[in-house]
Amino acid sequence: MAAHLQGTVGVWLMGLQARAAAALGDSEPARAANTEADERRERVVPDDLDSLGGLFTYPVEKQLYYSVECEALLGNGSAETVALAERAVEGFSDPTAASWAFGDLAGAQCDLALVRLFSGDLDGAAAAMRPVLDLPVSHRNNGIVVSAQRVRAALAGGSVNGAVVARDLTAEIEAFPATRLALPRG
């Protein structure tokens, strides 16, 4: 489908394909799609959508975030993946950057928490989740809640579930998805 696209949307489609395969537990297709996304990134020719910017372009930071999410969904906690996850969080840490989005930052932080959990770093996982858990209710959209719930599931299924930090973090995540209005009042 993306073969003829030269803008970043072609890269984005490969990133989405990789995430879908990872969500199904299909590591080979997920990693192959990420490799294809990397190759397409090298050949990007910005198009009309890229010139609009915002949600119509797929910046390198978001590609890194999606790539890390694939590894998190596959349960990878290698040192390399943790380093990439830290880079993804750093990539979204400047709210004045054109590619910044609070949802992408929170998603990247949840992925960092996951890969740290998979590497055995419970305290690091809790530290990565702190900014997400501190988000105001108005910023707790469905994507962020789903990402936080992945961390909760990993805590419950992991060897750390008896640790005090794990129990406290699990309780905070359970309380996290507060009810919010679909539209602002008034």
> For position 110, what pLDDT does the model report?
98
Q: Residue 178 has what pLDDT?
A: 59
Residue 63, in any domain of the structure: no
Please tell me the total count of domains within the chain: 1
Does residue 40 belong to any structural domain of this protein? no
Residue at 150 is within a domain:
yes
pLDDT of residue 159: 75
Residue 162 located in a structural domain: yes
Residue 48 exposed, middle or buried by CB count within 10 Å (0-12, 13-18, 19+)? exposed
Tell me which residue range forms the domain holding 107: 96-186
Q: What is the pLDDT of residue 157?
A: 83
Question: Which one-letter DSSP state was computed for residue 97?
Answer: S
Low-confidence ranges of the chain (pLDDT < 70): 1-3, 5, 178-186
Tokens of 21: 């395969």
Residue 60 falls within a domain, yes or no?
Answer: no
- The answer to whether 88 and 99 are in contact (CB under 8 A) is no
pLDDT at 177: 72
pTM value is: 0.90
pLDDT in tens, 34-78: 999 999 999 999 998 899 888 889 999 999 999 999 999 999 999
Asked if residue 55 belongs to a domain, the reply is: no
Q: Is residue 51 part of a domain?
A: no
Tally of CA atoms within 13 A in the half-sphere of 65 that contains its CB: 25
Long-range interactions of 171-180: CB distance < 8 A, separation 24+: 172/129, 172/133, 173/129, 173/133, 173/148, 173/149, 176/132, 176/133, 176/140, 176/145, 176/148, 177/140, 177/145, 177/148, 177/149, 178/137, 178/140, 180/137, 180/138, 180/140
Query: Could you tell me if residue 137 is inside a domain?
Result: yes
Question: What are the structure tokens assigned to 114, written together?
Answer: 């996951």
